[in-house]
Amino acid sequence: MNNRDFIELTRDRFIKYAGFWTTSDRQEKATPSTAGQWDLAKYLAEELRGLGIKDVTLSDHCYVIARLPASPGLGDKTPIGYIAHLDTSSEVSGKDVKPILVENYDGKPIKLSGGPQGGQQNAGLSLDPAEQKGLAEQRGKAIIHTDGSTLLGADDKAGIAVIVGMAEYLLKHPEVKHGPIELIFSPDEETGKGLPEFPLKDIKSKVCYTLDGGGLGELEYECFNAWAAEIKFTGVSMHLGAARGTMVNAVLMASSFACMLPRNESPEDTDGYFGYYCPLTITGNVENASLDVFIRDFDREEGERRVEALNSFARAVEAQFPGGRAEVNAKMQYQNMKEKISAHPEVLDKLRRAYEIAGVKIVEKPVRGGTDGSRLSQMGIPTPNIFNGGRNYHSRLEWLSVEEMAASCPVITELSKLWAE
């Protein structure tokens, strides 16, 4: 297998997919949460049929499921699946993404124009190899970035490109033997709301792999335990001229609560296996306000301690603002997938072997977040995570190594062969 072949199978696909506006909406209850995800899903369904895959379905909740039949005589082998998600994060605009392909990166800083909108938010943005991990190693190679006015969407459209690229390769090379393979493209991974609608009864795979990692060689099989908390604040409205001693300002209550969250336990101040609190949105008025907080920790007990701390902060805020009320509603979103995956050692054994055969050095690291694999593992389908070449996800500084994206293709091709042995 020549990596140049896989570059041709993935590069232009990714650029095409990146142009779809698939930003998800955390506030929307429906799945999918945005109409743009349907556009990409429908495109993928037709593309897969165009490759010659006959068994392609698009579910009522925007899941694309395509099945590659096993090579002759291998239909009884363990069915496996490859998964990537359709949506992109709402933290940065994903509308009108214009990928910029740099074929032969010269290793110098890249000043981002900020696009036709320009604006102070984009002023001075640049991709500097002195600051961007992994960028210097791309000198002489191809990278893709944006003008800085949007994110790029490698999370996870690079994963989609890898999976579809692999499928085309297998279809063109029937001499590469494999068992039954499912290709699954899911909505609303970024909101954490897509998996409740996951068509589990329609999935035949006993093992799955997400293509939702980062740099070359990353292999992830443990993630955070995750909670989402909504804290509602109820104040007392009063004419401002007669407010003394009677008005309780819910906006100030929410602000006071947010300031109680430990600064050294935030995403920007932690790494590795350290957990955090992260306030995401604060809305409201004098009478009613709300604050959304994410809690993340690899240790479940530590996460539960943080949830209980939110209740303590709520009582402290009520003490500060007599007559006001603060109510915490915390729900678990997903669990650390390590325990479920570790119970099936062959899932990682074959994956590590596939990296080795493909000549990719393994970089094992924890996922400081979650993937569709987090939920799927809890549902009984062990699902570790594989790299796709992207960097700086959810950021205007997002960029993608074309060669690293392509290098993921031979890994999952070899993996498919190993499951057919």
305 and 350 fall within a common domain = no
Q: Determine the Cα–Cα distance for residues 412 and 279; give it in Å rounded to an integer.
A: 37
Residue 118 has pLDDT above 50, yes or no: no
d(CA 383, CA 182): 13
Given a cut of 80, whether residue 2 has pLDDT beyond it is no
Whether 189 is a known active-site residue: answer yes
- The Cα 232–Cα 382 span in angstroms is 36
If DSSP codes are grouped into helix, strand and coil, which group holds residue 291?
strand
3-state secondary structure 320-369: HCCCCEEEEEEEEEECCCHHHHHCCHHHHHHHHHHHHHHCCCCEECCECC
Rounded to an integer, the average pLDDT of 387-399 is 96
pLDDT at residue 339 in the model: 87
Query: Do 280 and 408 fall within a single domain?
Result: no
What CATH code is carried by the domain that includes residue 310? 3.30.70.360
**Is a pLDDT exceeding 60 seen at residue 117?**
no
Active-site residue among 47, 189, 197, 398? 189
pTM above 0.85, yes or no: yes
Whether residue 32 is found in the same domain as residue 137: yes
- The mean per-residue pLDDT over the stretch 263-276 comes to 95
> Are 297 and 214 contained in the same domain?
no
Specify the higher pLDDT residue, 1 or 362. Answer: 362
The domain boundary, picked from 287, 313, 333, lies at: 333
Do 152 and 195 fall within a single domain?
yes
Domain boundary among 333, 352, 379: 333
Do the beta carbons of residue 360 and residue 216 sit within 8 Å?
A: yes
Residues 308 and 357 in one domain: no
Cβ atoms within 10 Å, residue 11: 22
Chain-centre distance of CA 195, in angstroms? Answer: 13
Report the share of the chain in percent with pLDDT over 70: 97
Do 151 and 208 have their domain in common? yes
Under DSSP, is residue 17 helix (H, G, I), strand (E, B) or coil?
Answer: helix
Secondary structure (3-state) at 281 = strand
- Please indicate, yes or no, whether residues 178 and 216 belong to a single structural domain of this protein: yes
Tally of domains in the chain: 2
Q: Which of 32, 397, 390 is nearest to 185 (CA)?
A: 32
What mean pLDDT is reported for the chain?
94
Type of residue found at 23? T
Task: Assign residue 29 the CATH number of its domain.
Answer: 3.40.630.10
Would you tell me how many other CB atoms lie within 10 Å of the CB of residue 140? 11
pLDDT at 301 over 90: yes
Q: How far apart are CA 68 and CA 21, in angstroms?
A: 28
Same domain, 283 and 149: no
Whether the CB-CB separation of 180 and 79 falls below 8 Å is answered with yes
Are 326 and 310 contacting, i.e. CB atoms less than 8 angstroms apart? Answer: no
Bond prior to 156 in cis (omega within 30° of 0): yes
pLDDT-based confidence at residue 222 (cuts at 50, 70, 90):
very high
pLDDT of amino acid 1: 65
CB count in 10 Å sphere of residue 197: 18
Q: Prior bond to 279 cis, omega within 30?
A: no
pLDDT at position 124: 76
d(CA 344, CA 72): 27
| Count of residues making up the chain | 421
Domain range for 266 = 225-333
Interacting residues of 181 by C-beta distance below 8 A, sequence separation 6+: 67, 68, 70, 79, 80, 81, 82, 167, 170, 416
- 190 and 244, same domain (yes or no): no
Mean pLDDT, range 374-402, rounded to an integer: 95
Regarding whether 303 and 237 lie in a shared domain, the answer is: yes
DSSP secondary structure string for all residues of 182-240: EEEEES-TTTT-SGGG--GGG---SEEEE----STTEEE--B-EEEEEEEEEE-B---G
Q: Classify 82 as helix, strand or coil.
A: strand
pLDDT for res 406: 98
* Active-site annotation holds for 87: yes
Residues 54 and 193 in one domain: yes
Which residues fall within 8 angstroms of residue 115, CB to CB, at 6 or more apart? 98, 122, 146, 147, 148, 149, 150
Nearest residue to 21 via CA among 84, 88, 83, 85: 88
* Catalytic entry in 87, 182, 222, 414: 87
- Among 302, 333, 364, the domain boundary falls at 333
**377 contacts 347 by C-beta, under 8 angstroms:** no
- What's the pLDDT tens digit per position in 166-209? 999 999 999 999 999 999 999 999 987 656 788 899 999 999 99
